[in-house]
Structure 1
């Protein structure tokens, strides 16, 4: 049986708050939509942290991150992460008990908070959000302003969050994949001896001009795709989410009143 190993620096350096850390947002850090191993982001009330774990030294390291001013003292929000952004949906102020229907996004790359122009159809907290095949965001359940449990299921297409850049990214990815699949096999060509003293034949790979052109196109597309993935600010849809959310359950009855 393996013995237990002590983990160093295992106390989270949170900011002072009456309610500590609970009902928080905790996600992996991503770069170019790929998870960074042993790096995580935590948001709760007035605490924002980048948490790094050093496996070799068995130690945690922490770096403070900016908290969204409008979400200070807030928790119990649902959240998803996609394309190096974190999206927070709703939540409740632990001090005033005020709930919100606002949606905020945080750029992992630029460490910037922005309020989305779109909102939830109602003020809600304690809901659960999940991505479906990177195509739809589902927000399920929660409590309303009267502290009543909601049996609702809201859904919205991710394109509504990434209205322009999302389509460009998908188009570029498909084009790159198509070009790579069409790339022909490269056949090594043995080069004639340049010197009789050489002991071994040297092989060189020569690409036809059309293959070189295709390779350049792929590199150009991949560079452009990286630029779009790293854009500082994504365009938000100006519509209110009352108009674009799909829903079922009690929310439908609420909207009819």
Structure 2
């Protein structure tokens, strides 16, 4: 099949048949072919347009008769059928849909209007146009209210079940989905105006791009997709337009697939999925066939569980939205009266609906923090901060070449350690429970859970184990190709996890000194990595702006946390493993729900990059440090 030829594919015979060739001056990439509505129900009129930005746009039309019907041979051989010709007006002048400056890569089109005479064209980065097929001109252009999201290869459908239903209607209603963005779009034909309304996208589909979709009856089915962390997906999702309800099916595609095309048979019986790419980015000659009714049955137990968890995620999103509206000014002094706080708590309890069973007590509900204290004393950037095991002190290190120990209750500095001739990048308290002294070690290091050993990472890419009592080096681990940024023992002390500038996270066996598994998915310097309290997961953060939660046993990514718009400098699990705290060069601290992989709070009080964060051992406080020379203490609300 050559690149500029047009074929018909027979879904029952699984065969292609040649129709015609495109004109030689047409580049067949990122174009769109749609079927127009004709006054003659026997006519099939196809419209072609599309193309990259800053390229000459072409608009072609074809009157099509079936190449599979032997009775139509004579009609097909006439000059007016089965040939791509210029789209022209009554004066035979070529009409072009789209300007040279328009980016029609991944463009999507809906046919609407009171006489099915309007083309609604949505294209990159955030534009919606209206083209009148009667007037043969653009009559409206508007900007979609979608922030920084670019619309390309998106889902764009009419809310009407068929084009006949649209006839005579002066209002055209449409739906658009792209990643985490959903819009309900209304166009008023009489006033030539748009109205836009937000539609929530389920979290599992929100991570995907380049999926196939079909609109059948009341539902939209989504097949496959792609995520830059997980690769191609084999998932199938459903959205009910009338119920505004999402579903992720337990059953999946036979193979992971993205960039495919979805079609529905004329009688709405079968769904056909054609083409697409796999995880290796290879183009596939795919043809999958499935009955539409197979996706319309009762939910399985697993699907019911997914619906329940998705409802919980939605409620967390609503609470997070309310917190943002309050601008995080939630403190007793601001609220003034205890009764007002109680009203907020009652409101959250109602939203979170305890009967769902995932909340056991009030301490689980309130995982939100408010600013409590500021510690000032360092004269330069503060690089790291950590709570003492008994939560009574904070230790910090700084580019002012000092280590400072602070009393949390009084907020006062109780000791300054000076004498270094260069920056102090990292500092840790000993975790040895019976230690009466404050033990300080420098550079990238961590104590073993028993307190007898130390693991350190260095600029030469090596990891070393040390005996605390003798100060002797016990073992050297080699395997990273660049600077070790962070290294931590697992809770049982049997393994360590390291992160490096070489973009990898490695889990090592302490006894043998050998790699257990190397975790690769970050695209930039991995700044921190840490085990969860049960040692089943590792969380890592990177200058690629992402946070990844890994399954230690399989080495796969379980969650990708997106939200920071700058390099992520530090990340920590809460002691109960349910929450993650992170900080970044966007001056923000963010809290994440581990189970759902979603942001639950953003703290913005530092005036410069936030360089480090830590949870207290009871999980009731967070400490943060920054280039703004301060340390901040955050208390659970």
Short-chain TM bin: 0.5 to 0.7
Q: 1:89 to 1:34 in 2, by over 3 A?
A: farther
What do residues 224-253 of structure 1 show as CA deviations (whole Å, max 9, x unaligned)?
A: xxxxxxxxxxx2579xxxxxxxxxxxxxxx
Separation in 1, partners of 2:237, 2:190: 36
**Structure whose residues are more often strand by fraction:** 2
Question: CA 1:118–1:61 in 2, change beyond 3 Å: closer, same or farther?
Answer: same
141 and 5 in structure 1: CA distance in 2 versus 1, 3 angstrom threshold: closer
- Whether 2:274 is the aligned partner of 1:145: answer no
Alpha-carbon displacement from aligned partner over 1:113-163 (angstroms, at most 9, x marks no partner)? 111122100110000001002000000010001111110100011221234
Instruction: Compute the displacement of 1:34 (Å).
Output: 7.6
Residue number among 212, 229, 251 corresponding to 1:78 in the alignment: 212
Change (3 A) 1:150 1:31: closer
Number of residues paired by the alignment? 163
* Structure-2 residue corresponding to 1:118: 251
- Equivalences for 1:97-246 in 2 at 5 Å? 98-132=231-265, 133-163=267-297, 235-236=298-299
TM-aligned CA distance change 1:126 to 1:5, over 3 Å: closer
Is the contact between residue 273 and residue 288 of structure 2 (CA under 8 Å) also seen in structure 1?
yes
Q: Which has the higher contact order (CA 8 A, sep 6+)?
A: 1
Residue 16 of structure 1 and its aligned partner are, at CA, apart by 2.5
Distance 1:77 1:27 in 2: 14
CA distance change for structure 1 residues 100 and 41 in 2, over 3 Å: closer, same or farther? Answer: same
- Equivalent of residue 22 in structure 1, options 152, 168, 180: 152
Following superposition, the deviation at residue 96 of structure 1 comes to 2.5
Cα distance in 2 for residues equivalent to 1:61 and 1:156: 36
- The structure with more radius of gyration: 2
SS at match of 1:159: helix
Q: 1:106 to 1:4 in 2, by over 3 A?
A: closer
Provide the residue aligned with 1:216 in structure 2. Answer: none
Per the alignment, residue 47 of structure 1 pairs with 181
Any stretches of 5+ residues in structure 2 without a counterpart? 1-88, 90-134, 302-637
Corresponding residue to 2:192 among 54, 58, 77: 58
User: Shift of the alpha carbon at 1:68?
Assistant: 1.4
TM-score of the pair, normalised by structure 1? 0.57
What is the match of residue 12 of structure 1? 144
Q: Return the TM-score normalized by structure 2.
A: 0.24
1:21·1:45 contact (CA, 8 Å) conserved in 2?
A: no
* SS of equivalent to 1:66: coil
Judge conservation of contact 1:30–1:108 (CA < 8 Å) in 2: no
Higher helix proportion (structure 1 or 2): 1
- Name the CA shift for 1:100/1:5 in 2 (closer, same or farther; >3 Å): closer
Counterpart-to-counterpart distance in 1, 2:289 and 2:223: 12
